[in-house]
Amino acid sequence: MRFKRTVITKDIELTKGSIRNRIILELKTQKEDDRRRKSSVIAVKLFRSTVFKKAKTVMFYLSFGGEVYTEKMIREALNLGKKVVVPICKKNRIINACVLSYDAKLQRGPYGILEPVDKESVRPQDLDLVIVPGVAFDLKGRRLGRGKGYYDRFLKKLPEDIPTVGLGFDFQLLPAVPATTNDINVKRVISN
């Protein structure tokens, strides 16, 4: 029995790895004009959603590596008077949600992702909406991240009633994403 679990886990990891590699390559090679155009379509859908309209404190991610472009969304959310927070990745594979002001100074974090220099934390239970990055998603809300488990650990800490929304381009939506018991689904996925 123990041997079978190991084989299943390795098969899932191989599948996750191959999906991750294929989609990351597509993200990196997508034309920047296409990325910005598709990101604008996604932004319109997000900003029209009821969960976004109701939210006072929204956690975004600062995009990198060809992900859905969030900088314009963040600026617009701030202009609408929303409190915006972003993830800060700690070396112990934990995410802290920290306030991002309109004029925040940014620096590169441990993985080269931008993060605010001033780190005013917000408790997970004080968030109204969490926007989640992903390499791939499926229609059931399963997500494939970059493989470190940061977001899965963070999402486990969220109260059940806090909406989580994955943002992804059409080629990031798959019929099914392999998942283990440690993987946490998002409640909704928005695509172009």
pLDDT tens sequence across 108-161? 887 788 888 888 999 999 999 999 999 999 989 999 998 888 999 999 999 999
| Residue appearing with tokens 């993830």 | 87
N- to C-terminal Cα distance for the chain? 43
CATH number of residue 97's parent domain: 3.40.50.10420
Is 188 exposed, middle or buried (CB count within 10 Å of its CB: 0-12, 13-18, 19+)? middle
- Among 47, 100, 50, which residue's Cα sits nearest to residue 78? 100
Give the span between the Cα atoms of 52 and 45, in whole angstroms: 10
More confident residue, 8 or 161: 161
| Residue appearing with tokens 């910005």 | 36
- CA gyration radius for the chain? 16
Please give the pLDDT value at position 175.
92
CB environment 116-145: b (16+ within 10 A), e (fewer): beeeeebebeebbbbbbbbbbbbeebbbbb
Tell me the average pLDDT across 76-89: 95
Share of the chain above pLDDT 70, in %: 93
DSSP secondary structure of 94-147: -EEEEE--TT--EEE-TTS-EEESS--EE-GGG-SEEEE--SEEETT--EE-SS
Token pair for residue 176? Answer: 């099914």
Q: Could you tell me the residue range of the domain that residue 131 belongs to?
A: 2-190
Share of the chain above pLDDT 90, in %: 71
Number of structural domains (the chain) is 1
Please give the pLDDT value at position 1.
34
Q: What is the pLDDT of residues 44-60, one digit of tens each?
A: 999 999 999 999 999 99
